[in-house]
Structure 1
């Protein structure tokens, strides 16, 4: 069964929600107690019915407490419980599972309002639903075949390489009645991705967020690596304030962090989550425009590291050392370029027999199936070539704390790959840059960006590091490079 579920999650984006999360999410949405009687609830990607099974259980119990008889409850279940799923097997399982729940309360032969359809084509429920809940499919739109054009008609999903769950957000919002609530668990990428820009604009305009529960590194789904967030919206809320929670994986409860305004959270069109003090610091880093005293770039992209870099590379006049930034280890590197990063002429490269023999032995692999290419013996991309003959610092791209940073001095004549590197201008020593980065403050800043990776790590890119360093150099009030512009020193104090 586990193998079968893994295949289904991979092929059609279905991710099956564990019971405890279903219970928590229905509680968050307010689908409990007497408030649920005669209220419409839908899961528009219902799968086997994880959310709807709990909804039916709660509805039956509340209806019985309210004095409803079995016939009345059966009618209510047929009227107020709704589901849609495109997968035939899941659809059949869902109806069977709901019937089992109803049977526990002596209610049988319910004509369930569950449909085996493409939810994105269903308009029946628009403007009618009190509670939209669920776990929308996680799949890139470009991987879809039959429904691609239909999905791209949704405004939230027409932003290029988008995800299907964004269209389901728009679908869910369309289904809500004037006081309806939507509660989804989805990838947290809607807070920051380019593809989700239209959704964020909608949220900023409607001001309808009630709360966000960031699950962080916690992985609630078997067989699926996803960094998720529980988002709760309400149509009858128009306030720019919302509650931000983290999720405790041990207690399986949410922990309140802050009540934020959208203005606090939104920085350059991206929604960040933290307390206000940290967000103020982050806003300063992300929106200030200091002089570019340090440049951070990506290392080599040979696209064939196993050929150009390693112990098997022959010694020659074009062999240099290259440091692997992710590990801090150095290896031999065949570097067919001059000191300015320009390609050496072929007669120079192939003049040494050991180099010629080595490259010829790997020619087919370097051509990658092409019949011929004039520059087959060069790196796949040109990045970082022009900086080999400059002093620089290598920087790895994963951390949990500052102790995970691997920052190494790399002298002129040596290269860097599998990571980033920094070069300085105006005579700023590289050692000072190293000291700036090897601090709890830098690692705290990286954690604010919430670019999660497995194992509890966070990742970051050239822009993230460069912005921080130049902000620090230019504005940190007690450092020797600070300019005379005004800056509140406490912005740097992370708590």
Structure 2
């Protein structure tokens, strides 16, 4: 089954104990195992109920994989029947439910793993099938539809639904007046062997909302009232009270651009050391450049690397008949350059870059930073001549914004704390400094020299 990642038995037992915590099973209760796989949760339920002398709920397990269901039936569990069914099919609502308990490990299937028919069906039937949704998000919605009053759900999923834009409808749904997110527990990032998923165990109850208990990976706990709208929950979950930062201004308000650097589609050809550039190409076709790795190594955006650039200062591509020595050089690599997707699929000229450079912004004094970093750091590129590559992001301050003031603020502890609380996690404790998130960073008004004047205009 696509998206299926076996749940370790010890984890399944911990999740079932959380499912029953303060909500012990009673005679007549029902439990649902969506995407049941080989039945680790059903095994845990039967063992824990027998161990404690509790009534075992009547169980129902569904999965679309006959192979996994065969393995589940081989467990010889007494309390559960298994059927080959699609949990996300509308027929589930007509024939089954409600359930007092729902527990599972929904499949992780990004939108790229779905065919056209599946995408169309899900978008028509699920309010949470928004943007580049993942299948596990839909499992939350369907489970809520099948949950009895006062019933409880415990799911393990990637944590990113707590803050990515795609999951906005899910976060809105989970702040419904009859849905209480009881607990969010972040567990070890390597819980699933061979995967780095940043898993989160979420327990939800059909009841009036209240504060959510949060357990972070370092063992610290706190209670928080999650935002009522679909906005990111990251700062609330990570325990950062940053309300005093709100000024009415964000980084997006005071910058012309916050964007990733350029992708050529063939860095091995367009990028070289300055002393390797043929003399016939200097200086008309050469631009200084920097990569994320070089920012770390040099501690400065100024490096000995250059980009061979067929674009004018206004961003227009030089016509092929006017390429001169650049064209002679590029012809030697034509087969490789024509093999890129930007040429084959997007119809770009064979010597163009994968992305068209916004030269009017790139050739400005700017602040640069790595796309992924454990401790975010920002550098000044004051000359405005360096073209960042795709592993480097850059931002261009608006006129009237203090360049040095903004740079100092971005490297300040308070800004770093905000990024720690709001940016998406990458492996090994690193943060993804996505432009969409950074544009929301509150900034102090005193770095905008003409703030009041700008408001008046």
* TM-score range for the pair, normalised by the shorter chain length: 0.7 to 0.9
Aligned mates of 2:118, 2:101 — CA distance in 1? 26
1:341-352 correspondence runs (5 A): 341-349=315-323, 351-352=324-325
Aligned mates of 1:60, 1:359 — CA distance in 2? 73
Cross-structure match for 1:447: 420
Query: What are the superposed Cα offsets for residues 75-122 of structure 1, whole Å, 9 maximum, x if unpaired?
Result: x76x7122111111211111222x2xx6xxxxxxx4841112222233
SS at match of 1:239: coil
Cross-structure match for 2:356: 382
For residue 438 of structure 1, report the CA deviation from its aligned partner: 2.2
Of the candidates 74, 77, 86, which is equivalent to residue 118 of structure 1?
86
SS at match of 1:204: coil
Alignment CA distance shift 1:375-1:243 (3 Å): same
Asked if 1:356 corresponds to 2:327, the answer is yes
Alignment CA distance shift 1:467-1:129 (3 Å): closer
SS at match of 2:101: strand
Of the candidates 2, 5, 8, which is equivalent to residue 18 of structure 1?
8
Aligned mates of 1:88, 1:285 — CA distance in 2? 56
Of the candidates 323, 338, 355, which is equivalent to residue 290 of structure 2?
323
Cross-structure match for 1:3: none
Q: Which deviates the most, 328-337 or 42-51?
A: 328-337
Query: What are the superposed Cα offsets for residues 3-45 of structure 1, whole Å, 9 maximum, x if unpaired?
Result: xxxxxxxx61111122332222222222689535542112111
Cross-structure match for 2:268: 306
Cross-structure match for 2:68: 90
Query: Any conservation in 2 of the 1:126–1:174 contact (CA below 8 Å)?
Result: no
SS at match of 1:393: strand
SS at match of 2:153: strand
Of the candidates 409, 416, 423, which is equivalent to residue 381 of structure 2?
409
SS at match of 2:182: strand
Aligned mates of 1:13, 1:387 — CA distance in 2? 41
Cross-structure match for 2:44: 54
For residue 47 of structure 1, report the CA deviation from its aligned partner: 0.7
- Calculate the aligned-residue CA RMSD, in Å: 3.3
SS at match of 2:189: coil
For residue 165 of structure 1, report the CA deviation from its aligned partner: 1.0
Cross-structure match for 1:144: 114
For residue 356 of structure 1, report the CA deviation from its aligned partner: 2.5
List runs of 5+ in structure 2 lacking aligned partners. 296-302
- The aligned length equals 433
Large movers: runs of 4+ above 6 Å: none
Asked if 1:400 corresponds to 2:371, the answer is no
Query: Any conservation in 2 of the 1:321–1:332 contact (CA below 8 Å)?
Result: yes
If the length of structure 1 is used for normalisation, what is the TM-score? Answer: 0.77
For residue 166 of structure 1, report the CA deviation from its aligned partner: 1.8
If the length of structure 2 is used for normalisation, what is the TM-score? Answer: 0.83
For residue 245 of structure 1, report the CA deviation from its aligned partner: 2.4
1:262-341 correspondence runs (5 A): 262-263=227-228, 266=229, 269-272=231-234, 273-274=236-237, 278-281=241-244, 284=246, 292=254, 295-311=257-273, 313-315=277-279, 316=281, 317-328=284-295, 329-341=303-315
Query: Any conservation in 2 of the 1:186–1:229 contact (CA below 8 Å)?
Result: yes
Cross-structure match for 2:300: none
Asked if 1:200 corresponds to 2:200, the answer is no
Alignment CA distance shift 1:379-1:327 (3 Å): same
Bigger share in helix: 1
Query: Any conservation in 2 of the 1:29–1:181 contact (CA below 8 Å)?
Result: yes
